A and B are shown apart, each in its own frame.
Chain A
Amino acid sequence: MAETPHDIRFALSEFDRSQLPEEQRQVEGDAFLKAVQDYLTSQFIGQGGAAQIVVTETEVIIRWKEDATPTPLAEQGTAHLREGDTDKGIALLRVALDRNPDDAGALFNLGMALGDRGETDEAITLLKRLVTIQPGHPEVWVALGVACGRAGRWEDAIPVLREAVSRNGQDGLARKNLGAALSQTGNLDEGLVHLKAAVVLMPEDAEAWLNLAMNLEESGETAEANIAYGRVIALDQVGSLAERAEQARNRITNCGLHEAGGGLRSDVLSHCVEALRIFDGMPRDRVQAITMEIAMLGTKGLSVSDTTTKHTLRGLPWSFSGLQLLCLEYVGFRIIDPSVDIGFDIAAEYEAAKRRHDGRR
Protein backbone atom coordinates (compact mmCIF):
# COMPACT_ATOMS: atom_id res chain seq x y z
CA MET A 1 0.00 0.00 0.00
CA ALA A 2 1.46 3.32 -1.06
CA GLU A 3 2.18 5.79 1.68
CA THR A 4 -0.17 8.73 1.52
CA PRO A 5 0.40 12.05 3.24
CA HIS A 6 -1.92 11.83 6.21
CA ASP A 7 -1.21 14.22 9.06
CA ILE A 8 0.01 17.65 8.03
CA ARG A 9 0.80 20.46 10.46
CA PHE A 10 1.86 24.02 9.88
CA ALA A 11 1.91 27.26 11.81
CA LEU A 12 -1.25 29.32 11.61
CA SER A 13 0.88 32.47 11.46
CA GLU A 14 2.27 31.23 8.13
CA PHE A 15 -1.14 30.86 6.51
CA ASP A 16 -1.36 32.93 3.32
CA ARG A 17 -4.29 35.28 3.86
CA SER A 18 -4.53 36.02 0.15
CA GLN A 19 -6.12 32.58 -0.23
CA LEU A 20 -9.17 33.77 1.70
CA PRO A 21 -12.09 35.67 0.17
CA GLU A 22 -11.26 39.37 0.11
CA GLU A 23 -13.68 40.29 2.87
CA GLN A 24 -12.06 37.78 5.24
CA ARG A 25 -8.42 38.70 4.74
CA GLN A 26 -8.24 41.18 7.59
CA VAL A 27 -10.25 39.26 10.16
CA GLU A 28 -8.63 38.31 13.47
CA GLY A 29 -9.25 35.99 16.39
CA ASP A 30 -11.94 33.36 16.15
CA ALA A 31 -13.16 34.79 12.86
CA PHE A 32 -9.72 34.16 11.33
CA LEU A 33 -9.61 30.62 12.72
CA LYS A 34 -13.02 29.94 11.22
CA ALA A 35 -12.07 31.49 7.88
CA VAL A 36 -8.98 29.24 7.67
CA GLN A 37 -11.02 26.23 8.71
CA ASP A 38 -13.68 26.96 6.07
CA TYR A 39 -11.07 27.57 3.38
CA LEU A 40 -9.24 24.32 4.03
CA THR A 41 -12.48 22.36 4.34
CA SER A 42 -13.62 23.63 0.96
CA GLN A 43 -10.27 22.71 -0.59
CA PHE A 44 -10.53 19.11 0.55
CA ILE A 45 -14.11 18.65 -0.72
CA GLY A 46 -14.38 15.93 -3.30
CA GLN A 47 -10.84 14.66 -2.90
CA GLY A 48 -11.86 11.06 -2.43
CA GLY A 49 -11.56 11.04 1.31
CA ALA A 50 -12.26 12.97 4.45
CA ALA A 51 -10.08 15.66 5.92
CA GLN A 52 -10.35 16.39 9.60
CA ILE A 53 -9.09 19.92 10.02
CA VAL A 54 -8.26 21.48 13.35
CA VAL A 55 -7.26 25.12 13.54
CA THR A 56 -5.87 26.21 16.88
CA GLU A 57 -4.54 29.60 17.85
CA THR A 58 -1.05 28.53 16.80
CA GLU A 59 -1.29 25.82 14.19
CA VAL A 60 -3.29 23.98 11.60
CA ILE A 61 -3.55 20.20 11.76
CA ILE A 62 -4.94 18.24 8.86
CA ARG A 63 -5.70 14.57 9.25
CA TRP A 64 -6.54 12.81 6.05
CA LYS A 65 -8.53 9.60 5.67
CA GLU A 66 -8.93 8.11 2.24
CA ASP A 67 -12.11 6.58 0.84
CA ALA A 68 -11.81 3.12 -0.67
CA THR A 69 -13.65 4.24 -3.81
CA PRO A 70 -13.61 7.99 -4.18
CA THR A 71 -16.52 9.52 -6.08
CA PRO A 72 -15.58 12.15 -8.67
CA LEU A 73 -16.41 15.68 -7.59
CA ALA A 74 -18.81 16.38 -10.45
CA GLU A 75 -20.78 13.25 -9.57
CA GLN A 76 -21.00 14.33 -5.94
CA GLY A 77 -22.25 17.76 -6.98
CA THR A 78 -24.81 16.27 -9.34
CA ALA A 79 -26.04 13.95 -6.61
CA HIS A 80 -26.66 16.94 -4.36
CA LEU A 81 -28.63 18.62 -7.14
CA ARG A 82 -30.73 15.49 -7.54
CA GLU A 83 -31.42 15.48 -3.80
CA GLY A 84 -32.57 19.08 -4.02
CA ASP A 85 -29.57 20.60 -2.25
CA THR A 86 -28.93 23.10 -5.01
CA ASP A 87 -26.50 25.37 -3.15
CA LYS A 88 -24.25 22.50 -2.17
CA GLY A 89 -24.48 20.94 -5.61
CA ILE A 90 -23.53 24.18 -7.32
CA ALA A 91 -20.66 24.80 -4.89
CA LEU A 92 -19.21 21.33 -5.54
CA LEU A 93 -19.58 21.65 -9.29
CA ARG A 94 -17.76 24.97 -9.16
CA VAL A 95 -14.88 23.32 -7.29
CA ALA A 96 -14.87 20.51 -9.87
CA LEU A 97 -14.54 23.11 -12.63
CA ASP A 98 -11.82 24.99 -10.80
CA ARG A 99 -9.84 21.79 -10.80
CA ASN A 100 -10.69 20.76 -14.31
CA PRO A 101 -12.21 23.47 -16.51
CA ASP A 102 -13.01 20.84 -19.15
CA ASP A 103 -14.96 18.51 -16.83
CA ALA A 104 -17.94 17.78 -19.08
CA GLY A 105 -20.15 16.53 -16.26
CA ALA A 106 -19.48 19.62 -14.19
CA LEU A 107 -20.01 21.99 -17.13
CA PHE A 108 -23.31 20.38 -18.05
CA ASN A 109 -24.80 20.02 -14.59
CA LEU A 110 -23.63 23.40 -13.35
CA GLY A 111 -24.96 25.01 -16.52
CA MET A 112 -28.32 23.32 -16.01
CA ALA A 113 -28.49 24.18 -12.31
CA LEU A 114 -27.63 27.84 -12.88
CA GLY A 115 -30.14 28.02 -15.71
CA ASP A 116 -32.83 26.60 -13.43
CA ARG A 117 -31.92 29.27 -10.89
CA GLY A 118 -32.23 32.03 -13.46
CA GLU A 119 -28.49 32.73 -13.66
CA THR A 120 -28.69 32.33 -17.38
CA ASP A 121 -25.64 34.31 -18.50
CA GLU A 122 -23.23 32.07 -16.64
CA ALA A 123 -25.24 29.00 -17.61
CA ILE A 124 -24.93 29.93 -21.28
CA THR A 125 -21.19 30.52 -20.95
CA LEU A 126 -20.65 27.10 -19.39
CA LEU A 127 -22.85 25.26 -21.85
CA LYS A 128 -21.23 27.02 -24.80
CA ARG A 129 -17.86 25.82 -23.53
CA LEU A 130 -19.19 22.28 -23.35
CA VAL A 131 -20.55 22.55 -26.89
CA THR A 132 -17.07 23.60 -28.02
CA ILE A 133 -15.17 20.83 -26.30
CA GLN A 134 -17.75 18.07 -26.66
CA PRO A 135 -20.19 18.87 -29.48
CA GLY A 136 -21.39 15.26 -29.48
CA HIS A 137 -22.65 15.49 -25.89
CA PRO A 138 -26.15 14.02 -26.12
CA GLU A 139 -27.95 16.72 -24.14
CA VAL A 140 -25.88 19.85 -24.33
CA TRP A 141 -27.53 21.43 -27.39
CA VAL A 142 -30.97 21.25 -25.83
CA ALA A 143 -29.64 22.53 -22.50
CA LEU A 144 -27.95 25.48 -24.20
CA GLY A 145 -31.08 26.24 -26.23
CA VAL A 146 -33.23 26.16 -23.10
CA ALA A 147 -30.81 28.45 -21.25
CA CYS A 148 -30.87 30.92 -24.15
CA GLY A 149 -34.65 30.77 -24.18
CA ARG A 150 -34.80 31.42 -20.45
CA ALA A 151 -32.64 34.47 -21.02
CA GLY A 152 -35.10 35.62 -23.67
CA ARG A 153 -32.41 35.22 -26.33
CA TRP A 154 -34.65 33.48 -28.84
CA GLU A 155 -32.41 34.43 -31.76
CA ASP A 156 -29.67 32.34 -30.12
CA ALA A 157 -31.96 29.62 -28.82
CA ILE A 158 -33.59 28.69 -32.12
CA PRO A 159 -30.45 27.81 -34.15
CA VAL A 160 -29.05 25.87 -31.20
CA LEU A 161 -32.28 23.89 -30.84
CA ARG A 162 -32.40 23.33 -34.60
CA GLU A 163 -28.92 21.84 -34.27
CA ALA A 164 -30.20 19.58 -31.49
CA VAL A 165 -33.05 18.36 -33.70
CA SER A 166 -30.77 17.87 -36.69
CA ARG A 167 -28.44 15.77 -34.55
CA ASN A 168 -31.28 13.64 -33.22
CA GLY A 169 -34.74 13.98 -34.70
CA GLN A 170 -36.09 11.51 -32.15
CA ASP A 171 -35.13 13.73 -29.23
CA GLY A 172 -38.50 14.74 -27.79
CA LEU A 173 -36.98 17.43 -25.58
CA ALA A 174 -35.29 19.05 -28.55
CA ARG A 175 -38.56 19.01 -30.48
CA LYS A 176 -40.54 20.37 -27.55
CA ASN A 177 -38.17 23.25 -26.90
CA LEU A 178 -37.68 24.12 -30.56
CA GLY A 179 -41.44 24.07 -31.04
CA ALA A 180 -41.93 26.31 -28.03
CA ALA A 181 -39.19 28.71 -29.14
CA LEU A 182 -40.63 28.97 -32.65
CA SER A 183 -44.13 29.50 -31.27
CA GLN A 184 -42.81 32.13 -28.90
CA THR A 185 -41.33 34.06 -31.79
CA GLY A 186 -44.50 33.86 -33.88
CA ASN A 187 -43.52 31.00 -36.16
CA LEU A 188 -46.59 29.03 -35.20
CA ASP A 189 -46.77 26.71 -38.18
CA GLU A 190 -43.23 25.38 -37.90
CA GLY A 191 -43.53 25.33 -34.12
CA LEU A 192 -46.64 23.18 -34.43
CA VAL A 193 -44.78 20.58 -36.48
CA HIS A 194 -42.17 20.13 -33.75
CA LEU A 195 -44.69 20.21 -30.90
CA LYS A 196 -46.80 17.53 -32.55
CA ALA A 197 -43.65 15.43 -32.92
CA ALA A 198 -42.81 16.10 -29.28
CA VAL A 199 -46.10 14.75 -27.94
CA VAL A 200 -45.73 11.66 -30.10
CA LEU A 201 -42.21 11.09 -28.77
CA MET A 202 -43.15 11.98 -25.18
CA PRO A 203 -46.88 11.30 -24.79
CA GLU A 204 -46.69 11.60 -21.00
CA ASP A 205 -44.97 14.98 -20.99
CA ALA A 206 -47.53 17.49 -19.73
CA GLU A 207 -45.32 20.44 -20.66
CA ALA A 208 -45.12 19.28 -24.28
CA TRP A 209 -48.90 19.05 -24.38
CA LEU A 210 -49.21 22.49 -22.81
CA ASN A 211 -46.87 23.99 -25.41
CA LEU A 212 -48.86 22.28 -28.14
CA ALA A 213 -52.15 23.51 -26.71
CA MET A 214 -50.86 27.08 -26.44
CA ASN A 215 -49.66 26.96 -30.03
CA LEU A 216 -53.05 25.65 -31.19
CA GLU A 217 -54.93 28.25 -29.18
CA GLU A 218 -52.74 30.99 -30.60
CA SER A 219 -53.38 29.60 -34.08
CA GLY A 220 -57.12 29.77 -33.50
CA GLU A 221 -57.53 25.99 -33.38
CA THR A 222 -59.50 26.19 -30.17
CA ALA A 223 -61.20 22.82 -30.40
CA GLU A 224 -57.86 21.01 -30.77
CA ALA A 225 -56.31 23.29 -28.15
CA ASN A 226 -59.10 22.37 -25.76
CA ILE A 227 -58.33 18.68 -26.20
CA ALA A 228 -54.62 19.26 -25.68
CA TYR A 229 -55.28 21.31 -22.55
CA GLY A 230 -57.43 18.44 -21.33
CA ARG A 231 -54.46 16.13 -21.78
CA VAL A 232 -52.32 18.49 -19.67
CA ILE A 233 -54.91 18.41 -16.90
CA ALA A 234 -55.08 14.62 -17.03
CA LEU A 235 -51.28 14.26 -16.92
CA ASP A 236 -50.41 16.95 -14.40
CA GLN A 237 -53.45 16.44 -12.15
CA VAL A 238 -53.30 19.40 -9.76
CA GLY A 239 -49.91 20.84 -10.67
CA SER A 240 -49.14 24.30 -11.97
CA LEU A 241 -49.35 23.13 -15.59
CA ALA A 242 -52.85 21.82 -15.00
CA GLU A 243 -53.78 25.13 -13.42
CA ARG A 244 -52.56 26.99 -16.51
CA ALA A 245 -54.41 24.54 -18.74
CA GLU A 246 -57.58 24.99 -16.71
CA GLN A 247 -57.34 28.76 -17.01
CA ALA A 248 -56.78 28.44 -20.73
CA ARG A 249 -59.81 26.19 -21.14
CA ASN A 250 -61.93 28.67 -19.23
CA ARG A 251 -60.62 31.39 -21.48
CA ILE A 252 -61.52 29.40 -24.59
CA THR A 253 -64.94 28.61 -23.22
CA ASN A 254 -65.51 32.21 -22.30
CA CYS A 255 -64.58 33.36 -25.76
CA GLY A 256 -66.71 30.64 -27.27
CA LEU A 257 -69.72 31.67 -25.27
CA HIS A 258 -69.56 35.24 -26.37
CA GLU A 259 -68.47 34.69 -29.92
CA ALA A 260 -71.59 32.59 -30.43
CA GLY A 261 -74.06 35.41 -30.66
CA GLY A 262 -72.88 38.79 -29.59
CA GLY A 263 -76.01 39.23 -27.47
CA LEU A 264 -77.16 36.85 -24.76
CA ARG A 265 -76.80 33.16 -25.37
CA SER A 266 -80.21 31.64 -25.05
CA ASP A 267 -78.92 28.23 -23.98
CA VAL A 268 -76.85 29.79 -21.22
CA LEU A 269 -79.76 31.98 -20.22
CA SER A 270 -82.08 29.02 -20.01
CA HIS A 271 -79.55 26.92 -18.05
CA CYS A 272 -79.14 29.80 -15.59
CA VAL A 273 -82.92 30.04 -15.16
CA GLU A 274 -82.96 26.31 -14.58
CA ALA A 275 -80.13 26.58 -12.05
CA LEU A 276 -81.89 29.36 -10.17
CA ARG A 277 -84.97 27.17 -10.02
CA ILE A 278 -82.99 24.21 -8.69
CA PHE A 279 -81.32 26.27 -5.99
CA ASP A 280 -84.45 28.20 -5.10
CA GLY A 281 -85.24 27.56 -1.44
CA MET A 282 -82.40 25.08 -1.10
CA PRO A 283 -80.41 25.35 2.19
CA ARG A 284 -77.16 27.26 1.73
CA ASP A 285 -74.93 24.37 2.81
CA ARG A 286 -76.50 22.09 0.20
CA VAL A 287 -76.01 24.74 -2.50
CA GLN A 288 -72.40 24.93 -1.40
CA ALA A 289 -71.92 21.16 -1.54
CA ILE A 290 -73.35 20.94 -5.05
CA THR A 291 -71.33 23.91 -6.27
CA MET A 292 -68.10 22.51 -4.88
CA GLU A 293 -68.81 19.11 -6.43
CA ILE A 294 -69.14 20.79 -9.82
CA ALA A 295 -65.96 22.79 -9.20
CA MET A 296 -64.12 19.56 -8.50
CA LEU A 297 -65.50 18.01 -11.68
CA GLY A 298 -64.31 21.08 -13.52
CA THR A 299 -60.70 20.48 -12.51
CA LYS A 300 -60.83 17.28 -14.57
CA GLY A 301 -62.09 19.19 -17.54
CA LEU A 302 -65.68 19.85 -18.61
CA SER A 303 -66.46 20.48 -22.23
CA VAL A 304 -69.03 23.19 -22.76
CA SER A 305 -69.35 22.43 -26.45
CA ASP A 306 -70.08 18.74 -25.98
CA THR A 307 -73.81 18.37 -25.43
CA THR A 308 -73.90 14.60 -25.65
CA THR A 309 -71.76 13.76 -22.64
CA LYS A 310 -73.80 13.84 -19.48
CA HIS A 311 -72.56 14.15 -15.94
CA THR A 312 -74.29 13.24 -12.72
CA LEU A 313 -73.97 14.81 -9.32
CA ARG A 314 -74.25 13.18 -5.93
CA GLY A 315 -76.49 15.97 -4.67
CA LEU A 316 -79.03 16.12 -7.54
CA PRO A 317 -81.04 13.41 -9.26
CA TRP A 318 -80.66 14.57 -12.89
CA SER A 319 -77.84 14.39 -15.43
CA PHE A 320 -76.30 17.50 -16.95
CA SER A 321 -74.24 18.59 -19.93
CA GLY A 322 -70.95 20.41 -19.37
CA LEU A 323 -72.60 23.75 -20.16
CA GLN A 324 -75.44 23.07 -17.76
CA LEU A 325 -72.97 22.29 -14.99
CA LEU A 326 -71.03 25.47 -15.74
CA CYS A 327 -74.20 27.51 -15.35
CA LEU A 328 -75.15 25.63 -12.22
CA GLU A 329 -71.68 26.32 -10.77
CA TYR A 330 -71.89 30.00 -11.70
CA VAL A 331 -75.28 30.44 -10.13
CA GLY A 332 -74.20 28.42 -7.07
CA PHE A 333 -71.23 30.71 -6.45
CA ARG A 334 -73.41 33.79 -6.92
CA ILE A 335 -75.52 32.47 -4.05
CA ILE A 336 -72.78 31.33 -1.65
CA ASP A 337 -69.92 33.70 -2.49
CA PRO A 338 -70.35 36.20 -5.33
CA SER A 339 -66.70 37.24 -5.05
CA VAL A 340 -65.49 33.94 -6.56
CA ASP A 341 -64.43 34.24 -10.18
CA ILE A 342 -64.88 30.87 -11.82
CA GLY A 343 -63.32 32.07 -15.03
CA PHE A 344 -66.48 32.26 -17.13
CA ASP A 345 -68.14 35.57 -17.68
CA ILE A 346 -71.83 34.82 -18.04
CA ALA A 347 -72.92 37.69 -15.83
CA ALA A 348 -75.26 39.15 -18.45
CA GLU A 349 -77.06 35.84 -18.96
CA TYR A 350 -77.21 35.37 -15.20
CA GLU A 351 -78.73 38.81 -14.61
CA ALA A 352 -81.33 38.22 -17.31
CA ALA A 353 -82.10 34.80 -15.90
CA LYS A 354 -82.40 36.26 -12.40
CA ARG A 355 -84.85 38.89 -13.61
CA ARG A 356 -86.87 36.24 -15.35
CA HIS A 357 -86.76 33.92 -12.34
CA ASP A 358 -87.68 36.68 -9.86
CA GLY A 359 -90.50 37.86 -12.14
CA ARG A 360 -91.98 34.39 -12.22
CA ARG A 361 -91.85 34.21 -8.47
Chain B
Amino acid sequence: MPFAPEVQQLIHQVEESSGLPVHVAEDPAMRLRASVTPARHGSPAHWVRFKPGSSALDYLVASQLVFLQRSLALPEADRWDIAATPAEHDRGIQTMGLDVFDEGFARNMVGQIITQTRTYPIGFRVDAWLRAHLPGLIPQQDIEIRSQLAENQRALAPEIRSKFPNGIVDANTTMNAAFAIFWAGHCNEPRFTIPFTALGYKDRAEKLLAVLDEVSAEPAGDRELVSRWAELLGLADAFHFKPATED
Protein backbone atom coordinates (compact mmCIF):
# COMPACT_ATOMS: atom_id res chain seq x y z
CA MET B 1 0.00 0.00 0.00
CA PRO B 2 1.78 3.19 -1.13
CA PHE B 3 1.15 5.67 1.70
CA ALA B 4 2.25 9.28 1.58
CA PRO B 5 5.91 9.83 2.54
CA GLU B 6 4.95 11.53 5.80
CA VAL B 7 2.87 8.49 6.79
CA GLN B 8 5.73 6.16 5.97
CA GLN B 9 7.99 8.36 8.04
CA LEU B 10 5.52 8.15 10.90
CA ILE B 11 5.41 4.36 10.65
CA HIS B 12 9.18 4.34 10.76
CA GLN B 13 9.24 6.56 13.86
CA VAL B 14 6.78 4.34 15.72
CA GLU B 15 8.76 1.24 14.79
CA GLU B 16 11.98 2.91 15.93
CA SER B 17 10.61 4.11 19.23
CA SER B 18 8.81 0.90 20.12
CA GLY B 19 11.24 -1.58 18.61
CA LEU B 20 8.32 -3.37 16.99
CA PRO B 21 7.00 -3.35 13.45
CA VAL B 22 3.76 -1.63 12.46
CA HIS B 23 1.41 -3.63 10.27
CA VAL B 24 -1.14 -1.65 8.33
CA ALA B 25 -3.98 -3.69 6.89
CA GLU B 26 -7.32 -3.25 5.15
CA ASP B 27 -10.37 -4.56 6.95
CA PRO B 28 -13.52 -4.23 4.82
CA ALA B 29 -15.62 -5.64 7.65
CA MET B 30 -14.78 -3.07 10.28
CA ARG B 31 -17.39 -0.56 11.51
CA LEU B 32 -14.95 2.25 12.27
CA ARG B 33 -12.97 4.08 9.63
CA ALA B 34 -9.67 3.03 11.24
CA SER B 35 -8.34 1.60 14.47
CA VAL B 36 -5.05 0.84 16.15
CA THR B 37 -4.10 -2.08 18.35
CA PRO B 38 -0.83 -1.64 20.22
CA ALA B 39 1.47 -4.64 20.44
CA ARG B 40 0.55 -6.36 23.72
CA HIS B 41 0.31 -9.75 25.21
CA GLY B 42 3.23 -11.00 23.20
CA SER B 43 1.91 -9.64 19.91
CA PRO B 44 4.90 -9.11 17.60
CA ALA B 45 3.56 -5.91 15.99
CA HIS B 46 1.29 -2.92 16.30
CA TRP B 47 -1.72 -3.20 14.04
CA VAL B 48 -3.39 -0.36 12.23
CA ARG B 49 -6.54 -1.38 10.41
CA PHE B 50 -8.57 0.74 8.08
CA LYS B 51 -11.75 0.39 6.14
CA PRO B 52 -10.94 0.63 2.41
CA GLY B 53 -12.60 3.13 0.13
CA SER B 54 -11.85 6.38 1.91
CA SER B 55 -10.13 9.13 -0.04
CA ALA B 56 -8.35 10.13 3.16
CA LEU B 57 -6.46 6.93 3.97
CA ASP B 58 -3.17 8.67 4.65
CA TYR B 59 -4.83 10.86 7.26
CA LEU B 60 -6.77 7.96 8.80
CA VAL B 61 -3.66 5.83 9.20
CA ALA B 62 -1.56 8.76 10.36
CA SER B 63 -4.07 9.71 13.04
CA GLN B 64 -4.09 6.15 14.40
CA LEU B 65 -0.31 6.17 14.45
CA VAL B 66 -0.25 9.46 16.39
CA PHE B 67 -2.72 8.00 18.90
CA LEU B 68 -0.29 5.12 19.33
CA GLN B 69 2.70 7.44 19.45
CA ARG B 70 1.14 9.43 22.29
CA SER B 71 0.78 6.27 24.34
CA LEU B 72 4.30 5.11 23.51
CA ALA B 73 5.66 8.51 24.48
CA LEU B 74 4.83 7.73 28.11
CA PRO B 75 7.12 5.66 30.34
CA GLU B 76 5.92 2.09 30.16
CA ALA B 77 4.65 2.16 33.72
CA ASP B 78 2.50 5.21 32.98
CA ARG B 79 0.81 3.85 29.89
CA TRP B 80 -2.85 3.29 30.50
CA ASP B 81 -5.99 1.83 29.12
CA ILE B 82 -9.57 1.95 30.20
CA ALA B 83 -11.70 -0.90 31.42
CA ALA B 84 -15.04 -1.33 33.11
CA THR B 85 -16.22 -3.81 35.69
CA PRO B 86 -19.79 -5.07 35.37
CA ALA B 87 -20.72 -2.80 38.30
CA GLU B 88 -19.22 0.22 36.55
CA HIS B 89 -21.05 -0.64 33.37
CA ASP B 90 -24.28 -0.89 35.35
CA ARG B 91 -23.71 2.58 36.77
CA GLY B 92 -23.07 3.87 33.25
CA ILE B 93 -26.21 2.18 32.00
CA GLN B 94 -28.21 3.82 34.79
CA THR B 95 -26.71 7.27 34.24
CA MET B 96 -27.22 7.13 30.52
CA GLY B 97 -30.79 5.84 30.95
CA LEU B 98 -29.94 2.71 29.02
CA ASP B 99 -31.65 0.39 31.45
CA VAL B 100 -34.74 0.49 29.26
CA PHE B 101 -32.93 -1.74 26.78
CA ASP B 102 -31.95 -5.36 27.11
CA GLU B 103 -28.69 -5.89 28.93
CA GLY B 104 -26.53 -6.84 25.96
CA PHE B 105 -27.55 -3.84 23.93
CA ALA B 106 -27.25 -1.51 26.93
CA ARG B 107 -23.70 -2.76 27.67
CA ASN B 108 -22.74 -2.31 24.05
CA MET B 109 -24.11 1.25 24.05
CA VAL B 110 -22.38 2.27 27.25
CA GLY B 111 -19.13 0.80 25.89
CA GLN B 112 -19.50 2.96 22.78
CA ILE B 113 -20.08 6.17 24.68
CA ILE B 114 -17.06 5.44 26.91
CA THR B 115 -14.94 4.87 23.79
CA GLN B 116 -16.16 8.17 22.40
CA THR B 117 -15.27 9.86 25.71
CA ARG B 118 -11.75 8.59 25.29
CA THR B 119 -11.21 9.14 21.60
CA TYR B 120 -12.75 12.59 21.13
CA PRO B 121 -10.58 14.65 23.49
CA ILE B 122 -7.36 12.87 22.59
CA GLY B 123 -8.47 13.08 18.97
CA PHE B 124 -8.36 16.87 19.24
CA ARG B 125 -4.74 16.60 20.42
CA VAL B 126 -3.90 14.20 17.61
CA ASP B 127 -5.52 16.39 14.96
CA ALA B 128 -3.84 19.52 16.26
CA TRP B 129 -0.49 17.72 16.13
CA LEU B 130 -1.12 16.50 12.59
CA ARG B 131 -2.16 19.96 11.44
CA ALA B 132 0.98 21.46 12.90
CA HIS B 133 3.50 18.79 11.91
CA LEU B 134 2.13 17.13 8.79
CA PRO B 135 0.43 19.98 6.88
CA GLY B 136 0.48 17.91 3.71
CA LEU B 137 -2.31 15.85 5.24
CA ILE B 138 -4.59 18.83 5.98
CA PRO B 139 -6.72 18.38 2.83
CA GLN B 140 -7.41 14.77 3.80
CA GLN B 141 -8.01 15.80 7.39
CA ASP B 142 -10.58 18.33 6.22
CA ILE B 143 -12.35 15.67 4.19
CA GLU B 144 -12.60 13.38 7.20
CA ILE B 145 -13.65 16.14 9.57
CA ARG B 146 -16.42 17.31 7.30
CA SER B 147 -17.51 13.75 6.82
CA GLN B 148 -17.59 13.27 10.60
CA LEU B 149 -19.50 16.54 11.03
CA ALA B 150 -22.06 15.45 8.48
CA GLU B 151 -22.48 12.14 10.30
CA ASN B 152 -22.83 13.92 13.64
CA GLN B 153 -25.41 16.32 12.21
CA ARG B 154 -27.40 13.46 10.70
CA ALA B 155 -27.60 12.05 14.21
CA LEU B 156 -29.69 15.09 15.22
CA ALA B 157 -32.64 13.79 13.20
CA PRO B 158 -35.73 13.29 15.37
CA GLU B 159 -36.20 9.63 14.39
CA ILE B 160 -32.66 8.82 15.61
CA ARG B 161 -32.69 10.81 18.84
CA SER B 162 -36.10 9.56 19.82
CA LYS B 163 -34.84 5.95 19.78
CA PHE B 164 -32.47 6.54 22.68
CA PRO B 165 -32.79 7.83 26.24
CA ASN B 166 -31.92 11.45 26.97
CA GLY B 167 -28.86 10.53 29.01
CA ILE B 168 -26.90 8.94 26.22
CA VAL B 169 -28.30 11.30 23.58
CA ASP B 170 -27.11 14.29 25.59
CA ALA B 171 -23.64 12.84 26.26
CA ASN B 172 -23.16 11.98 22.62
CA THR B 173 -24.54 15.27 21.31
CA THR B 174 -22.48 17.32 23.75
CA MET B 175 -19.30 15.69 22.47
CA ASN B 176 -20.45 16.15 18.86
CA ALA B 177 -21.18 19.80 19.61
CA ALA B 178 -17.66 20.17 21.02
CA PHE B 179 -16.33 18.61 17.82
CA ALA B 180 -18.36 21.07 15.74
CA ILE B 181 -17.25 24.11 17.75
CA PHE B 182 -13.60 23.02 17.70
CA TRP B 183 -13.56 22.57 13.93
CA ALA B 184 -15.77 25.57 13.22
CA GLY B 185 -12.95 27.62 14.72
CA HIS B 186 -10.15 25.83 12.92
CA CYS B 187 -11.93 25.79 9.54
CA ASN B 188 -13.41 29.28 10.01
CA GLU B 189 -16.86 27.86 9.34
CA PRO B 190 -19.03 28.99 12.27
CA ARG B 191 -22.12 27.45 10.70
CA PHE B 192 -20.97 24.00 11.85
CA THR B 193 -22.10 24.94 15.34
CA ILE B 194 -25.52 26.39 14.51
CA PRO B 195 -27.70 23.27 14.91
CA PHE B 196 -25.96 22.30 18.16
CA THR B 197 -26.44 25.80 19.54
CA ALA B 198 -30.08 25.75 18.44
CA LEU B 199 -30.56 22.57 20.45
CA GLY B 200 -28.93 24.07 23.53
CA TYR B 201 -25.64 22.15 23.61
CA LYS B 202 -23.23 25.04 23.14
CA ASP B 203 -22.54 25.81 26.81
CA ARG B 204 -22.03 22.17 27.77
CA ALA B 205 -19.75 21.63 24.78
CA GLU B 206 -17.69 24.69 25.63
CA LYS B 207 -17.11 23.30 29.11
CA LEU B 208 -15.60 20.20 27.49
CA LEU B 209 -13.46 22.32 25.22
CA ALA B 210 -12.29 24.44 28.14
CA VAL B 211 -10.71 21.31 29.61
CA LEU B 212 -8.48 21.11 26.53
CA ASP B 213 -7.00 24.45 27.56
CA GLU B 214 -6.72 23.57 31.21
CA VAL B 215 -4.93 20.24 30.81
CA SER B 216 -1.44 19.76 29.41
CA ALA B 217 -1.42 19.02 25.68
CA GLU B 218 1.47 16.60 26.20
CA PRO B 219 0.68 12.86 26.13
CA ALA B 220 1.08 12.82 29.92
CA GLY B 221 -2.08 14.94 30.15
CA ASP B 222 -4.28 12.57 28.15
CA ARG B 223 -5.47 10.54 31.10
CA GLU B 224 -6.58 13.62 33.02
CA LEU B 225 -8.24 14.90 29.87
CA VAL B 226 -10.36 11.80 29.51
CA SER B 227 -11.11 11.76 33.22
CA ARG B 228 -12.30 15.39 33.21
CA TRP B 229 -14.50 14.82 30.17
CA ALA B 230 -15.97 11.73 31.81
CA GLU B 231 -16.84 13.76 34.89
CA LEU B 232 -18.57 16.46 32.86
CA LEU B 233 -20.50 13.84 30.90
CA GLY B 234 -21.59 11.87 33.99
CA LEU B 235 -19.50 8.87 33.03
CA ALA B 236 -16.76 9.08 35.66
CA ASP B 237 -18.10 6.04 37.52
CA ALA B 238 -18.72 4.00 34.39
CA PHE B 239 -15.11 2.90 33.84
CA HIS B 240 -11.65 3.01 35.37
CA PHE B 241 -8.12 3.46 34.17
CA LYS B 242 -5.76 0.52 34.30
CA PRO B 243 -2.09 0.08 33.44
CA ALA B 244 -1.69 -0.80 29.78
CA THR B 245 0.52 -3.71 30.73
CA GLU B 246 -2.25 -5.34 32.77
CA ASP B 247 -4.16 -8.20 31.26
Contact = CB atoms under 8 A, between A and B. Distances in A.
Contacts of A15: 198-199
A9 B191 contact: no
Interface stretch (B22-30, B139-147, B234-242): B139-147
Contacts of A18: 200
A64 B150 contact: no
Contacts of A166: none
B194 A44 contact: yes
A11 interface: yes
Interface string A1-44: 01111101111001110110000000000000000100110011
Interface in B128-163: 139, 142-143, 146-147, 149-150, 153-154, 156-158, 161-162
Given A10-B195, A60-B198, A62-B195, A2 B157 contact: no
A3 B143 CA distance: 6
Contact of A14 (B142, B143, B161, B190): B161
A47 B153 contact: no
A14 to B, nearest CB: 5
A355 B153 CA distance: 94
B9 interface: no
A11 B158 contact: yes
A9 B157 contact: yes
A217 B55 CA distance: 76
Contacts of A59: 158
A361 interface: no
A40 B195 CA distance: 9
B67 interface: no
Chain A interface size range: 20 to 34
Given A2-B146, A6-B150, A40 B199 contact: no
A43 B194 contact: yes
B191 A44 contact: yes
Interface residues of B, number: 24
B224 interface: no
A15 to B, nearest CB: 6
A5 B146 contact: yes
Contacts of A314: none
A6 B157 CA distance: 13
Contacts of A10: 156-158, 161, 195, 198-199
A240 interface: no
A39 B158 contact: no
Q: Which of A3, A6, A36 is most buried by chain B, counting CB atoms within 10 A of its CB? A: A3
B162 to A, nearest CB: 8
Q: Which of A9, A60, A64, A99 is most buried by chain B, counting CB atoms within 10 A of its CB? A: A9
Given A5-B150, A11-B158, A99-B190, 10 more contacts: A4-B146, A10-B198, A10-B199, A11-B162, A15-B199, A16-B199, A16-B200, A60-B198, A62-B195, A64-B191
Interface of B: 139, 142-143, 146-147, 149-150, 153-154, 156-158, 161-162, 189-192, 194-195, 197-200
Interface of A: 2-6, 8-11, 14-16, 18-19, 36, 39-40, 43-44, 47-49, 51, 58-60, 62, 64, 99
14 contacts: A5-B149, A6-B150, A9-B157, A10-B156, A10-B157, A10-B199, A11-B158, A11-B162, A14-B200, A16-B200, A19-B200, A47-B191, A49-B191, A60-B198
